[in-house]
Chains A and B, each alone.
Chain A
């Protein structure tokens, strides 16, 4: 959502959508199915359409469950037992770990927060597990995209 609705709106960053589509076609862009549910609830109509058009990028929860539980067991702070909704963090990391991938997130590590409510956010977990973790701009730089 930070891609399309916040930092790089598709009407301005037109070429970015095409580059993302290329990643999807090459089966290099994947996300847990839980992320899709998250987007269905809070995402924009445009993003919802995009996820519908690219439904193949979503990996079933059951496939990630075991690894996500391992990660959640290792970093209990990732799961807020009081939360009313799904938290996909552990599943995102699990997917990257299972497929030797790179985590793309706009979330910032605990050290960048004034008063972190937990010790580990996605970038912190990736750091501790030795997984590469970058944000959207980092992805563009890594892929050598120029606009």
Chain B
């Protein structure tokens, strides 16, 4: 077979594209089945990739082919300037999987804004704010009120999946997008927030189990509220020392647990408990199930209201971690392509894409790409969205 001719790409852009995707040269070399020295030579301009290699490179780095011919690397806002500070993650050193997830979610938000303007929809500012000086219980109550979810509704949800769908819909109604992101380990990140206004984004790792998703959703929403209150900055600009940052995280945790389990509801669920009482795992699990949250979140909640002291909490936590260590990993349920697409992007975005398509504002290729869904499923997508949240099923 004749060898494919080499293509004169801009080596500086090639290096930029690789680094922007977070890949070291060896991973690129492995994927393209070439020696690492070859990739380095491309980046120095000493050699050029073939047409086939360039196509593979563009696919692997998730960039359009044309970018490699630009006279200089594009000037883009660093990803760390978009998301909130995350413990254990240095901006610019996110995993390639997290970087692509962030890019996808940022594009989705931008596309949503474009479509809303194209359709003449009003884009409202995110109104809810929080300040660190406020008591967490007060902010939690305000957040809970804003969701409009009655306690009776919450307690009547038949399972964690329904609870997650209910909370998600409530938060989307408040003017935030809620996305799920696949492909990232839970060890790296469980949830994150994109601190933009209007349309901030709360994003949850799709590997997270449903009862944990609800807590993470509220935790991230508190970060959005703090940013709206000018008390939190994106990761790259957030310079608080670690101890101060821990306070921010504790505040978010406490507000989230108060929003999910209001004080009065907690007291009603607890028959005369004293703070010095020891808690066993089944008791906390049973209580957690009532509110459709994780036992760990419930323990945090009990601690927050003084029903569990710090030493008792730490002892309980140790037992809990040991117990969790004995569990087999939970497997996600089956989800259809339509369910996966809607779970990833949320109903508001999916509806927006369908409206824009119906109004002929976008092509079918645009619509498929926006939702990462083959066009042959779009008929079912319409049915699924019309069915409403009642058809919630588990899966990605």
What 1/0 mask marks residues of chain A from 68 to 100 whose CB sits below 8 Å from any chain B CB? 110010000011111111110010000000000
B148 CB to closest chain A CB (Å) equals: 31
Contacting pair B374 A44 (CB below 8 A): yes
Kindly list chain B residues whose C-beta atoms are within 8 Å of the C-beta of A79: 64, 66-67, 70
Q: What secondary structure prevails in chain A residues at the interface with B? A: loop
Kindly list chain A residues whose C-beta atoms are within 8 Å of the C-beta of B5: 62
Contacting pair B365 A68 (CB below 8 A): no
Stretch of B112-120, B162-170, B271-279 with 4 or more beta carbons under 8 angstroms from chain A: B112-120
Cβ of B74 within 8 Å of any chain A Cβ, yes or no, is yes
Tier of interface size on chain A: 35 or more
A45 to B58, CA, bound (A): 25
Contacting pair A82 B76 (CB below 8 A): yes
Contacting pair B7 A65 (CB below 8 A): yes
Cβ of B147 within 8 Å of any chain A Cβ, yes or no, is no
Kindly list chain B residues whose C-beta atoms are within 8 Å of the C-beta of A86: 58, 64-65
Kindly list chain A residues whose C-beta atoms are within 8 Å of the C-beta of B376: 5, 43-46
Give residues 26-81 of A contacting B (CB, 8 Å).
34, 38, 41-46, 60-62, 65, 68-69, 72, 78-81
Cβ of A114 within 8 Å of any chain B Cβ, yes or no, is yes
Cβ of B363 within 8 Å of any chain A Cβ, yes or no, is yes
Contacting pair B7 A81 (CB below 8 A): no
Contacting pair B363 A43 (CB below 8 A): no
Contacting pair B55 A61 (CB below 8 A): yes
Question: 16 additional contacts, CB 8 Å, given A38-B365, A80-B64, A82-B76?
Answer: A1-B363, A5-B376, A41-B374, A42-B374, A42-B375, A43-B374, A43-B375, A43-B376, A44-B375, A62-B7, A65-B51, A84-B104, A85-B62, A106-B363, A114-B118, A115-B118
B residues in contact (CB < 8 Å) with A: 4-5, 7, 51, 55, 58, 62-67, 69-70, 74, 76, 100, 103-104, 106-107, 114, 117-120, 360-361, 363-365, 368-369, 373-376
Which 9 A-B pairs have CB atoms at the shortest separation, nearest pair first? A42-B368, A81-B74, A44-B376, A115-B117, A84-B62, A62-B51, A1-B364, A79-B66, A6-B364
